Amino acid sequence: MISIIVPVYNAEHTLGKCVDSILSQTYSHFELLLVDDGSKDKSGAICDTYAMKDSRVRVFHKPNGGVSSARNFAIDNISEGEGYLTFIDSDDYVDCNYLLHLVKAFGRNIDLVVGGYQSFGASRFVQYYEAKCYEYAELNKCFGKHIAEMPFTAPWGKLFRTYVIQEHHIRFDTRMKCAEDACFNKEYLCYVRGVALIPYTDYFYYSVNNSEKYGADGENCVYDALQTIRKYEQLTTIHAFDYQHATRAIINIHSGRFYIYQLGKSFSLLGFKEFCTTYDTLSPYLHLLENNGGRGQKIYNTLVMHRYFALAFVFVRLLASIKVIFK
């Protein structure tokens, strides 16, 4: 049986389409775990309505603890330990053959099946894979080529073996605010015997502007960045592959989050110590910063990369003040 985990928080406008797409699957041997993570809208009631209509739907209501907490709660309440597991987000939806295509690709020594996806919303993109099975000895090639791609960092769009997760007690890090799903995946990949890619884009992912989601203080940025890098390092000790391109992406993502956080501050010297501490901790990786974003962020990245922290701090706080004046 396949266990489908959907964390739910204030998703009343998208939840119906998501759940309807799941209940319409051509592969019907599944349980759907809806975890209402303390929603303040009608999401909880919507979940209960589906549970009354379909016995495959199981609903849990819990105090708000974040998406990682909700996913972990569901993992702890899976009915069968020998089946399969997939995650779907409550603002996404899937094609009617999503589960069928995933489960058919499983073989004796395949412990993870990964499909492509189509994004909608803030951006439109299609990730497509040619059908390919990587045996254990070839996993370094698989990871070296695909490890930083969205299907290998996000929790959705793939099928896990439940017993691997339970046996090694793999869970989402509830302290992380960003990339907790990538860390979950990397830990799982440490225990797989083989990976299958399938040529279907059955998952429809709702894309939002990252700047709306991921601005964070220095402590969170450092913790998230270093935890993610450590998971890559752990995996590469088992399957040697070059992950510098992934590390580059990690550092740019989390430095960008800290930049967004700084733009929300007024011009003041308060926070300068945190600023320096953040980039001192990340200093081994600052050479990987790129000139991404708008003109302001490019200047900011250049200053940080060359360790002109005081100038970078003053510059971003001036930008924040200008933003407030002309808002």
pLDDT 10s digits, 172-181: 999 998 899 9
Residue pair 224/270 in contact (Cβ under 8 Å)? The answer is no
The CATH superfamily assigned to 2-208 is Spore Coat Polysaccharide Biosynthesis Protein SpsA; Chain A (3.90.550.10)
pLDDT in the model for residue 118 = 96
Facing residues of 136 across strands? none
d(CA 86, CA 185): 12
Residue pLDDT, tens place only, 58-117: 999 999 999 999 999 999 999 877 899 999 999 999 999 999 999 999 988 999 999 999
Residue pLDDT, tens place only, 191-219: 999 999 999 999 999 987 654 455 678 88
| Displacement of CA 36 from its chain's centroid (Å) | 19
Which of the pair, 225 or 327, is modelled with greater confidence?
A: 225
Q: What are the backbone angles phi and psi of residue 67, rounded to the nearest 5°? A: -65, -35
Span 111-128, average pLDDT = 93
Does the structure show a pLDDT above 80 at 157? yes
pLDDT in the model for residue 209 = 66
What tokens were used for 253?
């993502």
Residue pLDDT, tens place only, 163-173: 999 999 999 99
Mean confidence (pLDDT) of the chain? 92
Span 114-135, average pLDDT = 93
Facing residues of 161 across strands? 84
**CA dist 228 → 2, 100, 233, 281 (Å):** 28, 31, 9, 14
pLDDT in the model for residue 59 = 98
pLDDT band at 22 (very low <50, low <70, confident <90, very high): very high
pLDDT in the model for residue 138 = 96
The 3-state DSSP class for residue 150 equals helix
pLDDT in the model for residue 269 = 76
pLDDT band at 326 (very low <50, low <70, confident <90, very high): low
For the four alpha carbons of 59, 62, 64 and 67, in that order, the dihedral sign comes to negative
In this structure, the strands spanning 2-8 and 30-37 are: parallel
Residue pair 319/294 in contact (Cβ under 8 Å)? The answer is no
Residue pair 128/114 in contact (Cβ under 8 Å)? The answer is no
Residues 6+ apart with CB under 8 A from 212: none
Residue pair 245/147 in contact (Cβ under 8 Å)? The answer is no
List alpha helices for the chain, DSSP H.
Answer: 15-23, 43-53, 67-75, 98-104, 139-146, 150-153, 162-167, 180-189, 218-236, 244-263, 272-281, 295-305, 309-325
Which amino acid, one-letter code, is at 153? Answer: T
Domain ranges of the chain: 2-208, 218-325
pLDDT in the model for residue 214 = 56
Lowest mean pLDDT among 56-65, 226-235, 240-249: 240-249
Does the structure show a pLDDT above 90 at 265? no
Which amino acid, one-letter code, is at 125? Answer: F
Q: pTM for the full model?
A: 0.91
The DSSP symbol for 271 reads T
Residue pLDDT, tens place only, 247-258: 999 999 889 889
Q: What are the backbone angles phi and psi of residue 90, rounded to the nearest 5°? A: -70, -15
Q: For residue 231, how many other CB atoms are within 10 A of its CB?
A: 22
